[in-house]
Amino acid sequence: MKTVIQIEVRPTEIDVMGHVNNAKYLEYMEWSREDWYNRAGLPFDLLSEQNVGTVTVNININYRKEARLGQKLTVSTEPIRKGRTSFVLKHEIVNEREELVADAEVISCTIDLKERKAVPLPDALAQCFA
C-alpha cells in the first residue's frame, strides 16, 4: 500500500541558502511514515500493546532538487521489501510540477520494547509487504 501526504514549506524550514534545510526532508518523510503506519492499521499504540517497536537503522536519502518557501510538496511512502526483523520503506517527495525533490530508502527494525533487541516482524506488518 502506497500512501501520500501533502505539506506546504513553512518559513521555519528554510535555511540560510533560501531553501528547505536538508534535515527537514527527514521530518517530512517521518510524518509520511507515521501516516503509512496508521493507514496500514499499525498505529504506535497497537504495536506497543504487542511489546513491539520500530526503530530506524539506516536512511539513504538523495536530494534531487531544492524546495523553497511556500511550495506544496507531496510525500509518498510505500513498502518495498522485508527481512526477518527488518523492512524497507521508500519515500519520494515531489513538488507541484511533479519534479522529484528527494527520495530515500529507510530501513527499520522491529524490537522487543522491554529487551530492546530485534524480534521478527509482527504478522500484520509482514503482510504489508505481500
Cell numbers representing residue 37 in the block:
503506519
Give CA–CA dist 19/16, Å, rounded: 8
Query: Would you tell me how many other CB atoms lie within 10 Å of the CB of residue 65?
Result: 13
Residue 57's alpha-carbon distances to 1, 49, 75, 82, in angstroms, are: 22, 22, 21, 14
Instruction: Choose, from 15, 45, 112, 123, the residue flagged as catalytic.
Output: 15
Is 123 an active-site residue? no
Catalytic annotation, residues: 15
